[in-house]
Structure 1
């Protein structure tokens, strides 16, 4: 099983290294895992003049799964569009047609005190945000900045065709059938024509899943409900922009964005697995980043792309054991817990696997 390892920038290499420590346990036990590393993002631009070298994209195409760290950095933001680190990740998603981004949001009882919300709001919380990943404002045309009547005008286009909506809606309903059979579709159909079409197509797809309950919420109401009554949700399906925002908001339900893994898949089993957090250049290289989102992303990879659900469950149990023992990185530390660094957290998860 070939895994393309793309650590990227900032804290990406640090947290990815911990996920690889965990995966190496299974390789030593006999699981056939082959790891190939490549540059992506700012480090690739520095080395080659482009954030996505052809050999990196070729490796991603050839792999069974991709383990990604993070991309970016403040000093890259002035680069032209197409050469910024984030453009590399967008290109990989588009070229491999990884249109469905699964972001599970699980409130661990051990971290109830790390969230700013009341523990009573979070007990038993387990939802999935399913974000459409290859359309919307991120890819729509026309786009750019130009001069109009002597002033600069910025343009981005929210665009969805019905097939793009249909395939992400099917993914949402199929996911709900494996869970609690509830889908909440989030849009802004009262203002945006693209979202009117979104709602119409989701309703049409819902007819194929009479055993799954469907509700619609406008994105502003959904954002409020995520904080007010998060346990009402099972599977949330939404567009690229709204999914980006809502999943970051939902990270506060878990106590830290350092706890949220994700998986991006297309029509097959190939997927790209990454922590939801960014590159965090302000803390890079200090051994204080939380690697659990990356480790849990590796667990998702084993389950969803590599057909190893038992190994995935072992990793998730190991994470719970470490948290139950009171160990915390800085972002989830509370009084009475034992604060540790990135590398030690990885070591402890490896030990807990035994």
Structure 2
């Protein structure tokens, strides 16, 4: 019996048969049933292994084998049914315990696999969201740069006409126009690559800080009023790119308030400090029950971080002590002359 138990995980059912046959042979050879504990312990160990490592059908077959072996052993000594019931109780109890442990083990494995799949899906979703946001940023930057280059080409053309009496200046302006038109053509080709069949995005003016009042009005119409402190001259002091990034970050922060907070108002501060455009959005909360548990973990905020990163900036987000949510952004900028 002891030697057979060493192979119980490799061949559980044959081990059951060996243990049952060995116990029966021992009893038929004249060894009393109450002599030694190995006769009872070995079947329990073999039975438990079958229940936890084999199928339910195999475990039921093993239980039937042991019950039959106990019946033969009881009959050989002429004992009453009580001795058989004594062994049957151990077999059935082991069967129930083994099934319970097997079910819990399989459930734990299923939950672990589900958690791994969920984590993988979240990583893929975050990666896809970041890729989509980078593509959108590239499109918008294309529009901003195209507008600036177009202005340069137009101004160069005007300068060429003004400098009729200065041939070297005319040549320089003509070169500027040629390079500018070439750059515009390359940017248009780049936009075609980035568009990926999305015809809804084209060359058009992108929102800047002058569009913030309209953004605040839309937020109020959606149920979240905005108490904003924004210097009115910022729109004239900053380049178009950082303005667009700031607008999108603020837009995402207000969307985050509407989605994940029960607050009806939010505070917005936007100022230029030490060569950086600093943005803060706060709400008092409380958080909605379906809101994210992890601070700053939304895909939209990851996109906001991507936008700030383009200009060497940062975005931080997290819960406040009152249960609200706070977004902080800092984007290095160079003021326009």
Same fold (TM over 0.5): no
Range into which the TM-score falls when normalised by the shorter chain: under 0.3
**Greater share of strand residues, 1 or 2?**
1
**TM-score (norm: length of structure 1):** 0.21
Structure number with the bigger relative contact order (C-alpha 8 A, sep ≥ 6) is: 1
If you compute each CA radius of gyration, which structure gives the higher value, 1 or 2?
A: 2
